[in-house]
Amino acid sequence: MSAKYDVIVVGAGLGGTAAAKTAAEKKLKVLLLERGRRPGDKQMSGSYLFRTITEEVFPGFEQADFHKGQIRVAGIDFRWMLDNDEKRYGVSVAPGAEVMRNWMTVYRNETDEWFAEQAVKSGAELKTALVTDLLWENEGAEGARVKGVVTDVGNFEAPITIDASGLNSLIAQRSGLADWGLDKVMLGLKYIYRVDGDLLRQRLQTYMDTDGVEVDWGATQMLCGSNPDHFGAHATGMPGRGIVSICFYSALKEMVEARVNIHQRAQWYLNQPTCKRLIEGGEFVYCNFHALAAGDMVGYVSKSFLSGLLLVGDAGGFAQPVDNFGANVALWLGRMAGELCAEMKATNDYSEAMFAKYEENWRNSWVGEDNVPEISVFMRDGGLNQVFSSMDDAVSYAFACKWENKSYPSIILGVIPKLLPVLPVLLEMPHLGRRAAEVGLKRAAPFMQLLGLWPSAGPNAPTSKGQ
């Protein structure tokens, strides 16, 4: 016999637990399904959470026990690799601990379990189950709607199903809303090492912030590049835990085309001087993998709902396409979905128009504004490589001239031709600012209309909502 709930949430990650907790707080009967042995069991990504949105959705987050022994990263050293990774250009940004206090280092296997506990305390029912398909009402006919899920422990029905089961979501595929190709997915690999905490403090040169949190200035370089695959790698040392976390990400499309093995790439990173010194004398503990949307050239799903179904977080490809900070997006969308569930329950309106409100709301929010895969295309299709290559030619020429006692005016004259190859790339960059212009115009529209500088209606008039 099928169990009846108000809402079924699939996936007990950040988006799923945010949705389940929000709906349960509104007195809805919520079933939260998780395929792992426990929430967070299969997590490798999301080593950082944003303090403000997490505390808003999950009060008490800032004071939770899992923060003990964690570290605050006060800077990022970004390097772009060139010429078979023999050259590197980049920038070190270290604004200091106070600015970075909103960026909190965590272990998601600990935090996700705590988040699920908060959802359960709010009234949600947590069950271990593997969802294999959707249940439909009038499947294949006009007006078909999702009415629940099929799992390995039975079928469950509800007027609303929220899919927050990750980038490889079977539900999103079964629904026809998402079926990602190789250009969407990045494979993430994480190595965990155990290293003596005092040794880590010496190697990272940490200090204690005024709020009692240990601070690392960002001593380990974040290495990125597109030769031949688009990749990124970084390391985080946590002296208070005696742990070093090594993360490596490689774009699946280029990996397959160039026949690159992610373990080979990761071994290269482990042998980079700053990384090698960090784990020297340490004990390898384990490794795991995760599918991510970092460096995403596709962007979000074109449609995030059906009658009876909402996509939240990675299930809808909602991780920010460039930097892959998706945890904050999942939290925000999960809360929004939970609030909409409560509205549908209160009005007894489960029409397709009500489900469409979810998409309308996120498209007219900062989430919609942040859908900028064009920047990832620029980074992965050779544009950024060309910029740094031209920079390398100019710098190499300048140094060579200096060693030959050339004057600075003559060096400058010689550098200009070295920068010419990057002009075609720069001429293509205005389209990267298109979204910023659209957002600025939309926000300025009410003021412009008030001053009579833009028509209040018409096909080209900017609006503050829905466009």
Q: Which helix (H) or strand (E) holds 285?
A: strand 283-292
Largest pairwise CA distance in the chain: 87
Whose structure tokens read 């799992």? 151
Q: Over 60: is that where the pLDDT of 3 sits?
A: no
Per-residue tokens: 297: 């050239």
SS (H, E, C) the chain: CCEECCEEEECCCHHHHHHHHHHHHCCCCEEEEECCCCCCCCCCCCCEEEHHHHHHHCCCHHHCHHHCCCEEECCEEEEEEECCCCEEEEEEECCCCCHHHHEEECCHHHHHHHHHHHHHHCCCEEEECCEEEEEEECCCCCCCEEEEEEECCEEEECCEEEECCCCCCHHHHHHCCCCCCCCCCEEEEEEEEECCHHHHHHHHCCEECCCCCEEECCCCEEEEEECCCEEEEEEEEECCCCEEEEEEEEEHHHHHHHCCCHHHHHHHHHCCHHHHHHHCCCEEEEEEEEEECCCCCCCCCCCCEECCEEECHHHHCCCCCCCCCCHHHHHHHHHHHHHHHHHHHHHCCCCHHHHHHHHHHHHCCHHHHCCCHHHHHHHHCCHHHHHHHHHHHHHHHHHHHHHCCCCHHHHHHHHHHHHHHHHHHHHCHHHHHHHHHHHHHHHHHHHHHHCCCCCCCCCCCCCCCCC
* Residue with more model confidence, 24 or 3: 24
* Residue with more model confidence, 393 or 437: 393
What pLDDT does residue 417 have? 92
- Across 83-139, where does the E strand assignment appear? 87-93, 103-105, 125-128, 131-137
* Residue with more model confidence, 285 or 1: 285
Percent of the chain beyond pLDDT 90? 47
Rounded to the nearest angstrom, the gap between the alpha carbon of residue 387 and the centroid of all alpha carbons in its chain is: 25
- Find, among 198, 205, 210, the residue nearest to 240 by Cα: 198
Average pLDDT for 277-284: 94
Average pLDDT for 60-73: 89
Segment among 90-94, 337-341, 460-464 with least mean pLDDT:
460-464
* Domains 3-69+106-181+301-369 and 186-292 belong to one CATH topology: no
CA atoms within 13 A on the CB side of 346: 9
Average pLDDT for 311-321: 90
20, 112 contact by CB (below 8 A)? no
186-292 has which CATH code? 3.30.9.90
CATH of range 3-69+106-181+301-369; options 2.40.10.10, 3.40.1080.10, 3.30.360.10, 3.50.50.60: 3.50.50.60
Segment among 21-35, 280-294, 448-462 with least mean pLDDT:
448-462
Q: Over 90: is that where the pLDDT of 141 sits?
A: no
What pLDDT does residue 381 have? 81
Of the pLDDT bands very low, low, confident and very high (cuts 50, 70, 90), residue 414 is very high
**Spans of all domains in the chain:** 3-69+106-181+301-369, 186-292, 382-427, 436-467
What pLDDT does residue 96 have? 76
pLDDT tens track for 204-239: 889 888 888 888 876 567 888 887 778 888 888 889
Query: Distance between terminal CA atoms of the chain?
Result: 45
